[in-house]
Amino acid sequence: MIQFSEATAIAIHVMIYIANRKNSTISLKEIAGVFSISENHLSKVLQRLVKVGFLTSIKGPKGGFRLVEGKELSTLMQIYESIEGEYTRKNCLFSSRHFTPCCCIMKPLIQTVNDSFESFMNNHRISDLKL
C-alpha cells in the first residue's frame, strides 16, 4: 500500500509550519518544540529538505530555516517524494513478486485508497494548509 515514514510526516508538517510564517527564519529548537520531536531526527529531515531545494539554512545565533521563494506552491506529493522517493502504486497487500496482481482480493479497496492518496497529495499545496 502506501509507505509513509515518520520522516515524511515530519517533512510535510514542517514545510506547512514554515510556509505559514512567511519571511521568518524558524529555528530547529522552535520546530522541535512545536512538534515534540527529537532535534536530532528533525535535523536530518531539515537537511534533506535543504538539499532538495525546499528550504534554506541560515547559520548563526539568529539562524534557522526559511522556505525557498516559490516553494509554497509545492504539492504534498512533491514533499512526499523528496523523502520517500518516487511514488509507485501497489495494487496488492502481498509483497511477493510471484503473486499475480490481477487476482488480489483487496484490489478494489487498495485502488480506492491509492486514488484518494494521489488526489489529496497532488491537489494540495503547502500554501493551502494551515497549522
Taking only the tens place, the pLDDT of each residue in 80-91 is 999 999 998 887
Q: Say if 27 falls within a structural domain.
A: yes
Q: Which of 43-47, 72-76, 105-109, 125-129 has the lowest mean pLDDT?
A: 105-109
- pLDDT for the residue 130: 87
Residue 110 lies in a domain: no
Cα separation, 31 vs 24, in Å, equals 13
% of the chain at pLDDT higher than 90: 73
**51 contacts: CB under 8 Å, gap ≥ 6:** none
**Taking all residues of the chain, what is their mean pLDDT, rounded to a whole number?**
90
Q: How confident is the model at residue 56 (pLDDT cuts 50, 70, 90)?
A: very high
Average confidence (pLDDT) over 117-128:
95
Cell match 515518520: residue? 6
Indicate whether 112 belongs to any domain.
no
- β-bridge partners, 67: 55
Range of the domain at 14: 6-87
DSSP 68: P
Give the residue from 123, 24, 28 showing the smallest Cα distance to 74. 123
